[in-house]
């Protein structure tokens, strides 16, 4: 029977978010991946599904890439599939895909990116996994999506599971870091939550990954071992999250955009749960740059 390991956003990086105190954040990332790797070695696991945002930026540093390839991609025995998250490409544009680490990995490792550009869908003995096309099949359709799907309407921009139109029997989603699970008219919605806690607001959240059996719609949430609350610095709640700021700037700075930069920054800030303080600081710095160019 098909059995998948389902993992939420990874956000791998060698720089710890400023609210975290990990002495070696890359080692923290590797520790989490090792727990996934060990679970994937169970004999009945058919595939490993990653729900996007593999890295914190479209082009992570080489130490991050090397760790991910040698400690994880090369060691996992089953097929690995992912979808494109908003952190995986620049300006949310698939046109920038060729400049990203995801493109490098799907060209050189066993990682397969399920996307209309590359692989419309994948067939397993009982299950098909797809992202945006309805495959001609009688298998159990499982949709992978990187959208702000939530149990109920949480804030502007979130999509309650009951409003989501899909042909799938099971929708597994990333992007919304707290995660959720819900059944709507017999369809299962499952988001195991992000693997790494990147914001101090998440310090009390227990990260999980899931083992899903599509045929029975059964799943098990497995706890990821964490180091505890000492991982976070409570003082950091009152300071600007420098890493979020860098990420927010990096996602836009290389692209030509025709819309107002203010509205785009607001949007990316909201979508990524950046604090208002970070958003305002990004706008201030962008305006300062603009003033400098003008003078």
**Given the rule CB under 5 A, which residues bind Mn ion?**
9, 53
Walk across the sheet containing 80-82 and list its strands.
111-113, 80-82, 47-50, 4-7, 208-213, 218-223
Residue closer to Mn ion, measured from CB, 18 or 199: 199
Residue closer to Mn ion, measured from CB, 80 or 268: 268
DSSP state of 115: B
Residue closer to Mn ion, measured from CB, 30 or 57: 57
Minimum distance from CB of 258 to Mn ion (Å)? Answer: 25
Q: Is the dihedral of CA 140, 141, 146, 149 positive or negative?
A: negative
Answer left, alpha or beta for residue 121, where phi above 0 means left and psi between -120 and 50 means alpha.
beta
Torsion angle of C-alpha atoms 192, 35, 89, 240, degrees rounded to 10: 80
Strand partners, 181: 190
Minimum distance from CB of 265 to Mn ion (Å)? Answer: 17
Minimum distance from CB of 148 to Mn ion (Å)? Answer: 10
| Count of beta carbons in the 10 Å neighbourhood of residue 89 | 21
Residue closer to Mn ion, measured from CB, 141 or 193: 193
Residue closer to Mn ion, measured from CB, 64 or 140: 64
Minimum distance from CB of 65 to Mn ion (Å)? Answer: 18
Minimum distance from CB of 242 to Mn ion (Å)? Answer: 18
d(CA 181, CA 151): 7
Minimum distance from CB of 11 to Mn ion (Å)? Answer: 6
66 Cβ contact list (under 8 Å, min separation 6):
none
Residue closer to Mn ion, measured from CB, 46 or 203: 203
b/e sequence 213-241, b meaning 16+ C-beta within 10 Å: bbeeeebebeebebeeeebbeeebeeebb
């Amino acid at each position: 029977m098909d059995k998948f390991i389902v993992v939420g956003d990874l956000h791998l990086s060698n720089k710890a978010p400023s609210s975290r105190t990990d002495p070696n954040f890359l080692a923290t990332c590797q520790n989490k991946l090792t727990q996934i790797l060990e679970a994937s070695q169970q004999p009945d696991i058919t595939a490993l599904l990653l729900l996007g945002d593999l890295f914190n930026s479209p082009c992570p540093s080489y130490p991050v890439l090397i760790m991910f390839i040698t400690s994880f991609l090369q060691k996992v025995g089953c097929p690995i599939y992912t979808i494109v998250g908003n952190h995986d490409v620049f300006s949310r544009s698939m046109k920038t895909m060729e400049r990203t680490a995801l493109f490098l990995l799907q060209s050189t490792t066993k990682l397969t990116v399920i996307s209309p550009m590359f692989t419309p869908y994948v067939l397993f003995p009982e299950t098909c996994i797809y992202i945006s096309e309805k495959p001609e099949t009688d298998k159990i359709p499982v949709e992978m999506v990187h959208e702000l799907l939530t149990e109920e309407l949480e804030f502007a921009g979130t999509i309650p599971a009951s409003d989501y139109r899909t042909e799938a029997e099971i929708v597994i989603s990333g992007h919304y870091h707290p995660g959720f699970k819900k059944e709507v008219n017999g369809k299962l919605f499952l988001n195991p939550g992000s693997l790494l806690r990147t914001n101090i607001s998440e310090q009390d959240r227990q990260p999980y990954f899931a083992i899903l059996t599509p045929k029975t719609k059964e799943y098990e949430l497995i706890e990821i071992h964490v180091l505890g609350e000492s991982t976070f610095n409570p003082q950091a709640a009152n300071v600007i999250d420098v890493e979020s700021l860098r990420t927010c700037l990096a996602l836009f700075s290389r692209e030509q955009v025709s819309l107002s930069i203010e509205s785009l920054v607001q949007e990316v800030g909201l979508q990524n749960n950046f604090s208002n303080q970070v958003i305002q600081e990004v706008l201030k710095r962008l305006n300062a740059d603009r003033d400098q160019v003008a003078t």
